[in-house]
Amino acid sequence: MRSTTPGTAPEPAQRPDFVTVLRRWAAEQGDRVATVYLEDGTPGTDEIVSTYADLDRSARRVAAWLQARTRPGDRVLLAHLPGPAFLDAFLGCLYAGVIAVPAPPPDGRRRSLDRLSGIVADAGIGHLLTDTPTMPLLREWLDSGDTGLDHVASDDLAADPEDWRPFAPTGDTVAFLQYTSGSTSTPKGVIVTHANVVANQEAIAEAAGSTSEIRGVGWLPHFHDMGLIGQLLHPLYLGGTLYYMSPLAFLKRPFSWLEAISHYRATITPAPNFAYELAARRTSDEQLAQLDLSSLEVALNGAEPISIPVLERFTRRFAPAGLRAEAMSPCYGLAEATLLVTGTPRLRGLRTCAVDAASFQQGRLTPAPSGAAVQHLVSSGRAGILGVSIVDPDTLEVLPEGRIGEIWVTGPSVGAGYWNNPERTAETFGRTTADGQGGFLSTGDLGALLDGELYVTGRIKDLIIVNGRNLYPHDIEESVRPLHPALATGAAAAFALGGHPEHVVLVQEVRPKHLDGTGTAELAAAVTSHIRHAFQIPRASTLLVAPGSVERTTSGKIQRARMRELYLRDELTALEVAPVQTAEPAGTSRV
């Protein structure tokens, strides 16, 4: 019997790749529980438990099957439902030396299959691993003959782990391709090497203070960078234990996430803004009384930007359950950097600042004069092993602290580029500043550094410029929520149509059952009046739509460009359309 006592994490120099790491844990603490998958999301029931020896054995089984059919460097599509089958397949790819390509499983809509087809064509994929429940959803697509994929359910492989031929990757060996959220017709696969993976795991461990005692709980999609790198792989990298469930289990019953944190005494959990908001809103007082969240030390939030009101509501709601405010840990990252770029140190808590709103709209973070309007910002933490600079995207000059510009990143976890896309790679990776500093990743995100802290303000492509002022769509969207209970929980997308004067549109989800006698026409007009008055927008209009109408990426981000496209093509089904307002509204905009 091997010891179940957690091992001592080796020095970074002794962790050259994930295969070496997992093989070491299998040898030193093979009987220790590595992962626990909650099939229905309920802690303590229907658990699928894997030890480190189990993971190693499953990875070798998948790798043996792949090695009989592929060569190192071949790309293998992974289209699995959440659960152990995906993790076995992903690790098996690493063990075999082939390049894993995680992708969302089909959801029954043509668009999801089109996305898979785009990835297959872009990456030149010849093999597909899936799972038994997903295979029927892929059957028509696979049988069409368009893909030419050799395919099998990885949870039903006829292969012997002992047939595995050990593979020793170097740091430059490509581990996987991370396809970013976006258009199905123009997929972008970030090339992530073994050295990138190890470097980013070290960055996460440094920011979160993670050790081999780590107990992670999560539900994020495994095909998303935060779900894969931050949730699934991080505890395994350090020899700890991961407890996880499907995103659907969380969405059906948000309390299950908190219940698992409490039950398994989790020390770390990752989630986006909307999850913290949903959990706070849908947890009853009776459920709250069952929780003990005192073990939680790091509650990661990687949204861009992070909502201060959401974090404050979550903290207040669960303080009676022992949640420490200091556990809230905003961070910033992206797939092109493998994942984490900046993070809040363990148990430091939020760091916020209030800056002059007018200066903020001109791209500067300055103290607000007495009585002036303020803009509240929350830090996404500090850079560790990665370097962060703020660069003027037009002049490429490095900006001083307190100036808003594009976030540029350099360091060992920045990916090697986009697969088979030299033009986009040149536009994004290996950038050089005006003073000759090279090797930067340009993120497309806007932010500023202040006292060494990174404050993320938004996306360049989403920026709304009105009369020389920079307006951020999330600020417009957030400002509408308090106007009426029917708006409080609905997603929204604000975007500009252009023209003179600038025309700004808000597509806002509304819950009719919460209207409480307010007419939709009255509500839409009030929302438009509020937007014009609060943000001094010359032309504005509002579309009220049903819940679920505002499209998001697989990581939960609002797809504003997609909503603008649907609006211009008149493909949005509106509950109410407010007439365009071009004159200053009178009276209050609250309804």
Q: Which pLDDT score is estimated for 141?
A: 83
Find tokens 């509240």 and name the residue.
Answer: 376
For residues 355 and 422, membership in a common domain is answered with: yes
Angle at 487 between CA 483 and CA 491, to 5 degrees: 130
List the CATH number of the domain containing 127: 3.40.50.980
DSSP string, 320-373: GGT--GGGEEEEEE-GGGSSEEEEPPTT----EEEEEHHHHHTTB--BPPTT--
Angle at 304 between CA 301 and CA 310, to 5 degrees: 55
Q: Which pLDDT score is estimated for 434?
A: 97
Backbone angles phi, psi at 56, to 5 degrees: -65, -40
Q: Which of 407, 442, 460 is the last residue of a domain?
A: 460
Residue 37 is assigned to a structural domain of this protein:
no
For residues 59 and 166, membership in a common domain is answered with: yes
Cβ atoms 250, 36 nearer than 8 A: no
Report the domain count for the chain. Answer: 3
Residue 175 is assigned to a structural domain of this protein:
yes
Residue 406 is assigned to a structural domain of this protein:
yes
Residue 424 is assigned to a structural domain of this protein:
yes
Chain centre to alpha carbon of residue 1: 39
- CA 21, CA 10: separation in Å to the nearest integer? 9
Alpha-carbon separation of residue 197 from 242, 413, 566 (angstroms): 18, 7, 37
Q: Show Cβ contacts of residue 435 under 8 Å, excluding neighbours closer than 6 positions.
A: 397, 398
Q: Which pLDDT score is estimated for 156?
A: 79
Buried/exposed code over 3-38 (b: 16+ C-beta within 10 A; e: otherwise) = eeebbebeeeeebbbbbbbbbbbbebbbebbbbbbb
DSSP string, 188-219: -EEEEEHHHHHHHHHHHHHHHT--TT-EEEE-
Residue 568 is assigned to a structural domain of this protein:
yes
Domain hosting 367: range is 351-460
Residue 151 is assigned to a structural domain of this protein:
yes
Q: Which pLDDT score is estimated for 527?
A: 94
241-244 and 47-51 strand pairing: unpaired
For residues 431 and 524, membership in a common domain is answered with: no
Q: What is the dihedral of CA 258, 259, 260, 263, to 10 degrees?
A: 130
Q: What is the dihedral of CA 425, 426, 431, 436, to 10 degrees?
A: 160
For residues 436 and 471, membership in a common domain is answered with: no
Q: Show Cβ contacts of residue 294 under 8 Å, excluding neighbours closer than 6 positions.
A: 321, 322, 323, 324
DSSP string, 44-78: TSSEEEEEHHHHHHHHHHHHHHHHTT--TT-EEEE
For residues 83 and 178, membership in a common domain is answered with: yes
Summarize pLDDT for 384-422 with one digit per residue, the tens. 899 999 999 999 999 999 999 999 999 999 999 999 999
Cβ atoms 379, 352 nearer than 8 A: yes
For residues 435 and 495, membership in a common domain is answered with: no
User: Can you state the angle between helices 255-264 and 273-282, rounded to 10 degrees?
Assistant: 90
Q: Which pLDDT score is estimated for 11?
A: 53
Sign of CA dihedral 331, 334, 339, 342: negative
Q: What is the dihedral of CA 10, 14, 16, 18, to 10 degrees?
A: -30
Q: What is the dihedral of CA 349, 410, 354, 331, to 10 degrees?
A: -30
Residue 28 is assigned to a structural domain of this protein:
no
Q: Show Cβ contacts of residue 275 under 8 Å, excluding neighbours closer than 6 positions.
A: 250, 254, 257, 556
For residues 87 and 173, membership in a common domain is answered with: yes
Neighbours of 198 (CB within 10 A): 23
DSSP string, 398-430: BPPTTB-EEEEEESTTS---BTT-HHHHHHHSS
DSSP class of residue 15 equals -
For residues 481 and 533, membership in a common domain is answered with: yes
Q: Which of 442, 460, 478 is the last residue of a domain?
A: 460
Q: Which pLDDT score is estimated for 183?
A: 40
Sign of CA dihedral 289, 290, 296, 302: negative
Summarize pLDDT for 26-78 with one digit per residue, the tens. 999 999 999 999 999 999 889 999 999 999 999 999 999 999 999 999 999 99
Residues in the chain where the model's pLDDT stays below 50: 1-10, 12-13, 183-185, 584-591
For residues 372 and 452, membership in a common domain is answered with: yes
Q: What's the pTM value of the predicted model, to 2 decimals? A: 0.90
Cβ atoms 298, 329 nearer than 8 A: yes
Q: Which pLDDT score is estimated for 181?
A: 62
For residues 482 and 417, membership in a common domain is answered with: no
List the CATH number of the domain containing 487: 3.30.300.30
Cis peptide upstream of residue 501 (ω within 30 degrees of 0)? yes
Amino acid at 436: G
Q: Which of 148, 169, 187 is the last residue of a domain?
A: 187
List the CATH number of the domain containing 440: 2.30.38.10
- CA 587, CA 591: separation in Å to the nearest integer? 11
Q: Show Cβ contacts of residue 490 under 8 Å, excluding neighbours closer than 6 positions.
A: 508, 509, 510, 511, 547, 550
Cis peptide upstream of residue 305 (ω within 30 degrees of 0)? yes
For residues 454 and 572, membership in a common domain is answered with: no
Q: Where are the alpha helices (DSSP H) in 380-519?
A: 422-428, 473-480
Helix, coil or strand: residue 140: helix
Residue 113 is assigned to a structural domain of this protein:
yes
For residues 385 and 432, membership in a common domain is answered with: yes
Cβ atoms 355, 374 nearer than 8 A: yes
